[in-house]
């Protein structure tokens, strides 16, 4: 498979995972999937993070390997930062992106716990 196609597919995969992490708690049919996806994401960020650095994402690691083969350099640690910088044309500070990312993720976890375990009729 060409690196360009692989880069595109990894971007789509990233966006799907981010979308699931942030929004899959909303719909009753995707709530269980949401719990699995946030669990896997947390495991990568925290458990794999012990060895690779807090917030580690294997998909980002693979995608950066592909982007390096495509000639890109100076890639940030974060997929979100990379694309926010691309979209805005600015160099958003790492800490700001990490705060937005982790804060949004934490909010989604709180709502997921609420709808899955605390309030059975919420948003049904």
Between CA 9 and CA 24 the distance in angstroms is: 21
What does the pLDDT look like over 26-50, one tens digit per residue?
999 999 999 999 999 999 999 999 9
| pLDDT tens by residue, the chain, 124 residues | 899 999 999 999 999 999 999 999 999 999 999 999 999 999 999 999 999 999 999 999 999 999 999 999 999 999 999 999 999 999 999 999 999 999 999 999 999 999 988 876 545 5
Q: Would you give the end-to-end CA distance of the chain in angstroms?
A: 43
Reported pTM: 0.90
Total residues found in the chain within this entry: 124
């Amino acid at each position: 498979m060409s690196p360009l196609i692989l880069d595109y597919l990894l971007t789509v995969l990233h966006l799907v995972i981010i979308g699931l992490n942030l929004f899959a708690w909303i719909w009753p049919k995707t709530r269980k999937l949401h719990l699995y996806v946030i669990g896997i994401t947390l495991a990568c960020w925290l458990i794999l993070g012990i060895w690779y650095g807090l917030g580690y994402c294997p998909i980002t690691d693979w995608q950066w390997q592909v982007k390096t083969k495509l000639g890109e350099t100076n890639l940030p640690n974060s997929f979100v930062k990379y694309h926010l910088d691309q979209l805005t044309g600015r160099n958003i500070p790492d800490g700001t992106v990490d705060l937005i990312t982790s804060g949004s993720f934490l909010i989604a976890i709180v709502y997921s716990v609420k709808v899955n375990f605390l309030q059975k009729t919420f948003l049904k």
